[in-house]
Structure 1
Amino acid sequence: MVFSIVVIAVTLLYLVLLELSKNIVIGWVVALMAAAIMLVERYMLKKQNIVSRRAKIMTWVAFILVLFVNLIFTRPPIKNVPAVDVKNPQITEVVQVKQGYLRGVYNKDKTVRVYAGIPYAKAPVGDLRFKEPQEPEEWNRVRECNEFGPMAMQTRSNPLIDSLSHILGWHDYQVKFGDEYLEAMSEDCLYLNVWAPETDDKELKPVIFYIHGGSLTTGQSSYSEYRGEDLAKQGVVFVNFAYRLGVFGYYTADDLKAESPNGTTGNYGLLDQIAALKWVRENIEQFGGDPNQITIAGESAGSSSVNALCVSPLTEGMFNYAIAESSGIGAIEPFHTFRSYDVALEEGQKVRDAFGVSSSAELRDVSPWKLVNNGSDQSAMTIDGYAIVEQPYLTYEKGNNHEKALLNGFNAKEADAFLLSTKATADNYVELLAEDLGDQAEEMAKVVPANTSQRDQHFIVDALGDAKGALNTAYSAIWFSYSHYLWNNYLIEQGVPTYEYYFTKKNNILSNYHAGELPYAYGNLWRHPGLYEEEDYELSEIMQKYWVNFAKTGNPNGEGLPNWEMRSSTQDKLIQFDTEIKMVEDPNQEIYKVIDKYQESLK
């Protein structure tokens, strides 16, 4: 009896391991058969009264060996993610773009046409590694665009670790058949996706061109939180895409600058984004989108990229409005996703040193699977003299930025997830602040004290502990919301309409942490059944309408919506997205004054 219980328990735990590791279904069958054989064999040996200690050991060794081999040989395959969560979806009519003919698939209720995996540039492999994106190649047959292209090269976590993070962190893990695979990853990654409303209305629709985040080192266009199905239902054409990341997208070297016809290096990922935007301008009308009514949008590093597109001389006249969520590069010295050319060169040298080469040309012979792990920091854009010609704040001071209106904002607890491993105490609190604020750390510690009893109640500091909570509050402003404070101020001075939000809605998944607003704004709460409540869906409907209205007119307001007041020299309130939607004071105003002093000292 005990033997049977142990075998069943081991088998169940093993099946959980197979599920979390995304092993294919045949692995489950083998495991169950092995367990059944174990039980039958034990029964037969016991019936014959020949159950010796040696027999027991040999039986268990064989069982464990079978399970181990099975785990290895039923590992999840690599494949592209389907464009829609529908088995055998209906295909669309053929669409002609500049490079050839293609067709996509319909969503479940056939209200949205989805075209995934459309190449917008030539594969940046071989001699094209570390070069500007090239025009995509033409094709002859009708291209089936029914699955997302591969994600860009990046470090990939073990699927077991990834599953556990979704259980413990996001709380959104789902047991289901059909997901026993790993998403394809390749250096050949320059593909985009289009979600277009299925409608008899021939009037061209505004376009939202979305840039994913991920510190310029991770991310993929197939991610559920920024798929465009629901926004397309509300009358926009939604586009997202993959671009080169990490060393492939932001490696910098003088020898590459010398070989480039444009004298550029270090911004290949940004140039990919510009190439995708150019492709959309040239082809989106074929999907019902208006090439003259494009809104660029992004979150985190994607928002920093939006900021970069706003100052790049290469994008003038290519879009109208901008949506920026939780980042920007408008500071005198941005705190992340932007660096000086000298620092970029230093990090580039680390890559060459890691592989023992003296030139960038030699790096083109290194396997992408080896190159992705290079011991350097490749998470920032730089001034290359081509895509970005000066510090972005100087472009804003001159009024040479391109956005005609801005919708932007931040979340309540932006930095918390990035500081999980940081040990903050009252003793080291100022020292930790000084890592990004230098001599202004002491003053910041007075504005956001480590001691709760000394802190103004309007600061959101959770129960992580006095010093840790205070550090999270300070760094949420330093790393994320400060950039929006600057961005708004520049546009107010220029007389450009700008609207700012403050997302504080709590929930059972991403809550109001970094990226928590994404499934609300882009209409993807339904992809997480059971984790959001009715009030979340109501907020999501309102946020989607704001985003769509903004893409249409440059003003988020519309009939039946709470009034979102435009920022001005006399109106500095933000709209708070929560169970109640209302205009509120920015909780970080005093923090910004300290960061201003630090930034001014850098001039």
Structure 2
Amino acid sequence: MKYEYSERGRSGSAHVLLMLCFAFFLAALSGGASAAACAGAGAGMTGDVACTDLGAVRGQVENGTLAFKGIPYAKPPVGDLRWRAPQAAVAWSGTRDTVSYAPMCPQIIGKDVVGSEDCLYLNVWRPVRKPKHPLPVMVWLHGGGNQSYSGAGDPGFGGVVYDGEKLVPQGVVFVSYSLRVGVLGFLAHPSLDAESPEKISGNYGSQDQIAMLQWLHRNIAAFGGDPSKVFLFGTSAGGGNICALLTSPKTKGLIHGVSMQSSVPTGCEIPTLADVERGTGKAVIAKAGCESSSDIAACLRGKTAAEIVNAVPAGPFTVFPRVYGPNMDGHVFVDQPLALIKQRKYPPVPVIIGNTAGETMHFIDAVGPVVDAATFAGAVSKVFGSAQADRIVAQYPLDQYETPRAAFVQLTTDGEFTCQSRRVARTFADVQSEPVFRYIFNHALENDPEQKALGPTHTAEHPYMFNWKGTYKPTQTDLDIQKHIISYWSRMAKTGNPNGGSDPFWPNASSLNAAYLEIGTDTQSKTGVGESHCDFWDTVQLPWPHL
């Protein structure tokens, strides 16, 4: 019996030893193998594994690209890190599977608050085969008014999924990311200033963007990207954020080309920290029920994400409503971005600036019906203020438009987008030798009755940057236009000039000409169209900081 027991003991010990060996073998396959892969990867890339400064990540092949989704670029801003500058992410052991998008940052969709505060992640697409030379990096900054959406996509135009499947084959690396939005990303208040070493608050989402760019500078070579060729392109609030980021002292050496789409002068003119604290900051604290607290910051951090997100105040009406965005705090943003550009206090880079032909079609119904001369004049007064309304109305005689509503769309698109794009493009062109290019996108999604009826409305060009993964099915015309857009933008990222190949020539913009590219069914360069209106809008003082 003793012998039998001993044999069973030996057998059990052997079994345990065997299991331990197997466990070590599995560990070697994961952490050990990834460490070996990192050690032998040269530029930090081997097979489907890339080696960042925090650990190895594994992607997966998607439609001819290698996609890495959900890579942390900062520590989750939860608990005491809510409303603080982003902190460095924590390193991990083994190889991290990065094959699905991380949750979006908390935001309102419909009537519900969705998302997670653990949301500071980015996504990278690169060619499946390791490139022989480092590739330019195209970084997408999503729209959503700094209140909505994420690095995964947005619900507009049948659903747009942000991927690199159309751009990467042009010889680039593509990046998307998420940042804190809304109250969690841009709340400014003296109680938060007091906690900050710089005595500032509000630019948390902007600091997320800077942390993302710093991560790219350290790590994008591991994905075949060139950290000295980082091209930012974005729409709406994302495009506007680019203007502010370009002039921040915190982004020196991180940005080498930009495209601001359906946005300018979004972000080129921003409010002061004090303005934001007096406005939305004070209103949020009151709505959150923390106004009388002895420790307002602690009270706010004691609220759930849903309670905080729902504390969004109602803002004054504008054609493109601004509630949240960058503020001029003297640290992240030291002055008005447009003023810094005029003073040449920014790194000059190649620039694309543009908008759609009917930007405000999607927004103006919030003003109320515009059906005759009286309601037209009333709408202009509501948007631009009564002091300037009469002379603005005089510039747009109703007998020159199909309907008063059509006149109002043209007026607000000119005043808020097209002529402001011209103004900012000329400002860049006047102070730098690097080229500046303007465009107007003039096409609506033909297979969508609602979009076709609206026309080329706000951000209508951005679905053409990506693969068609939503419900919308593109027509051949859509695909032809997409070829032009993909070619222009990828060339801009690679060479600083969108021209080349068989695409129609895109002229430089300057203060001496009114040249731009009209992108649509008949893509062509144009000059002089709408110049008298823009000359007029240069004399108008718009009554709020644009965003």
- Residues 407 and 499 of structure 1 are in contact (CA less than 8 Å); yes or no, is this contact kept in structure 2? yes
Change in CA separation of 1:141 and 1:262 when aligned onto 2, cut-off 3 Å: farther
Instruction: Indicate the larger mover: 562-571 or 544-553.
Output: 562-571
Pairwise mapping of residues 52-91 of structure 1 onto structure 2 (< 5 A)? none
On the 8 A contact 1:298/1:323 being kept in 2, the answer is yes
CA distance in structure 1 between the partners assigned to 2:297 and 2:332 by the alignment: 20
CA shift at 1:591, angstroms? Answer: 3.0
Counterpart amino acid of residue 60 in structure 2:
V
Describe the shift of the 1:98–1:184 C-alpha distance in structure 2 as closer, same or farther (beyond 3 A). farther
Q: Which moved more, 1:115-124 or 1:502-511?
A: 502-511
What is the SS of the residue equivalent to 2:167? Answer: helix
Q: Equivalences for 1:502-521 in 2 at 5 Å?
A: 502-506=440-444, 507-509=446-448, 510=451, 511-520=455-464
In structure 2, C-alpha distance between the alignment counterparts of 1:432 and 1:243, rounded to whole Å: 35
Corresponding residue of 1:448? 396
Q: Contact 1:504 / 1:578 at 8 angstroms: preserved in 2?
A: yes
Question: How far does residue 594 in structure 1 lie from its aligned partner after superposition?
Answer: 3.2
Cα RMSD (Å) of the superposition?
Answer: 2.3
Q: Match for 1:442: what amino acid?
A: D
**In structure 2, which of residues 518, 524, 527 is the aligned counterpart of residue 585 of structure 1?**
527
Higher relative contact order structure (alpha carbons within 8 Å, sequence separation ≥ 6)? 2
* Correspondence for 2:108: 155
Q: Secondary structure at the match of 1:415?
A: helix
Distance, in Å, in 2 between the alignment partners of 1:403 and 1:154 is 35
Task: Tell me the distance in 2 between the aligned counterparts of 1:117 and 1:447.
Answer: 50
Letter in 2 for 1:141: G
- Retained in 2: the 8 A contact 1:92–1:104? no
Give the alignment partner of residue 327 of structure 2, picking from 354, 376, 382.
382
CA contact (8 A) 1:215 1:301 kept: yes
Which residue among 279, 282, 307 is the counterpart of 1:370? Answer: 307
The DSSP-based 3-state class of the residue aligned with 1:428 is helix
Would the alpha carbon gap of residues 467 and 151 (structure 1) be closer, same or farther in structure 2, given more than 3 Å must change?
same
Distance (whole Å) between structure 2 residues aligned to residue 158 and residue 587 of structure 1:
42
Where do 5+ consecutive residues of structure 1 fail to align?
1-90, 160-182, 456-460
Distance in structure 2 (CA, Å) of the matches to 1:479 and 1:152: 29
Partner of 1:187: 117
Aligned match for 1:428, one of 333, 358, 375: 375
- After superposition, the C-alpha distances for 1:69-102 in whole angstroms (9 at most, x for unaligned) are xxxxxxxxxxxxxxxxxxxxxx962211011111
Which residue of structure 2 lines up, in the alignment, with residue 340 of structure 1? 272
The 2-side partners of 1:530 and 1:370 are apart by 35
1:217-274, CA deviations, whole angstroms, 9 ceiling, x for partnerless residues?
0112111343221101111001010001110011001222222123321111111111
Relative to structure 1, the CA distance from residue 184 to residue 144 in structure 2 (aligned partners, 3 Å threshold; closer, same or farther) is farther
How has the CA–CA distance of structure 1 residues 430 and 341 changed in structure 2, closer, same or farther, with 3 Å as cutoff? Answer: farther
> Is the contact between residue 384 and residue 543 of structure 2 (CA under 8 Å) also seen in structure 1?
no
Which of 470, 479, 492 aligns to 2:429? It is 492
Could you tell me which residue of structure 2 aligns to residue 418 of structure 1?
363
Can you list the C-alpha shifts for 1:140-198, whole angstroms capped at 9, x where unaligned? 12111011011111112269xxxxxxxxxxxxxxxxxxxxxxx9711111000001112
Structure 1 position 133, deviation (Å): 0.7
Q: Within 5 Å, give how 1:508-547 maps onto structure 2.
A: 508-509=447-448, 510=451, 511-520=455-464, 522-524=465-467, 526-527=468-469, 531-547=473-489
Alignment of 1:553-568 (within 5 A): 553-568=495-510
Cα distance in 1, alignment partners of residues 537 and 504 from structure 2 = 32
Q: Which moved more, 1:142-151 or 1:568-577?
A: 568-577
| Cross-structure match for 1:44 | none
Instruction: Please give the alpha-carbon distance, in whole angstroms, between the structure 1 residues aligned to 2:420 and 2:100.
Output: 36
Q: 1:312 to 1:327 in 2, by over 3 A?
A: same
Residue equivalent to 2:216:
280
- Residue pair 1:548, 1:556 contacting (<8 A) in 2 also: yes
* Structure-2 change in CA distance of 1:215 and 1:571 (3 Å): same
Within 2, Cα distance between the matches of 1:516 and 1:423? Answer: 24
The corresponding residue for 2:282 is: 349
1:319 is displaced (CA, Å) by: 1.4
How far has the Cα of 1:430 moved from its partner?
Answer: 2.4
CA contact (8 A) 1:330 1:393 kept: no
Specify the SS of the correspondent of 1:489.
Answer: helix
Q: In the alignment, which residue of structure 2 is the partner of 1:198? A: 128
Matches within 5 A, 1:49-128: 93-108=48-63, 111-128=64-81
CA distance in 1 between partners of 2:206 and 2:122 (Å): 15
Matches of 1:239 and 1:330 in 2, distance apart?
22
Summarize the Cα distance change of 1:117–1:343 in structure 2 as closer, same or farther, 3 Å threshold: same
1:222 paired to 2:152 = yes
Gaps (5+ residues) in structure 2?
1-45, 154-159, 316-322
The CA distance in 1 between the partners of 2:334 and 2:53, in whole Å, is 30
Secondary structure (helix, strand or coil) at the match of 1:420 reads: helix
Cα distance per residue 1:21-55 (max 9 Å; x no partner): xxxxxxxxxxxxxxxxxxxxxxxxxxxxxxxxxxx
In structure 2, what residue type is equivalent to 1:344? V
SS in 1 for 2:131: coil
Native 8 Å contact 2:439 2:518 kept in 1: yes
Distance 1:349 1:587 in 2: 44
- The secondary structure found in structure 2 opposite 1:134 is coil
Structure 1 residues 102, 255: CA separation in 2 closer, same or farther (over 3 Å shift)?
same
Task: Report the TM-score, using the length of structure 2 for normalisation.
Answer: 0.82
Equivalent residue for 2:42? none
Partner secondary structure for residue 392 of structure 2: helix
What's the counterpart of residue 251 of structure 2?
Answer: 315
- Cα 1:595/1:287, change in 2 over 3 Å: same
Deviation at 1:299, TM superposition (A): 0.3
> After TM superposition, what 4+ stretches of structure 1 lie above 4 angstroms from structure 2?
600-603
Three-state SS of the structure 2 residue aligned to 1:229 is coil
User: Which residue of structure 2 lines up, in the alignment, with residue 483 of structure 1?
Assistant: 420
When residues 380 and 435 of structure 1 are mapped into structure 2, their CA distance, relative to the original with a 3 A threshold, is farther
From the superposition, tell whether residues 141 and 331 of structure 1 become closer, same or farther in structure 2 (CA, over 3 Å).
closer
Q: Which residue of the partner structure matches residue 240 of structure 1?
A: 176
Provide the residue aligned with 1:470 in structure 2.
Answer: 407
Classify the secondary structure of the residue corresponding to 2:417.
Answer: helix
**DSSP-derived class of the 2:497 partner:** coil
Asked if structure 1 preserves the Cα contact closer than 8 Å seen for 2:137 and 2:175, the reply is yes
Q: Secondary structure at the match of 1:192?
A: strand
Q: Distance in 2 between matches of 1:325 and 1:218?
A: 17
Residue in structure 1 matched with residue 353 of structure 2 by the alignment:
408
**Following the alignment from structure 2 to structure 1, what is the Cα–Cα distance between the partners of residues 231 and 141?**
11
User: Which segment drifts farther, 562-571 or 496-505?
Assistant: 562-571
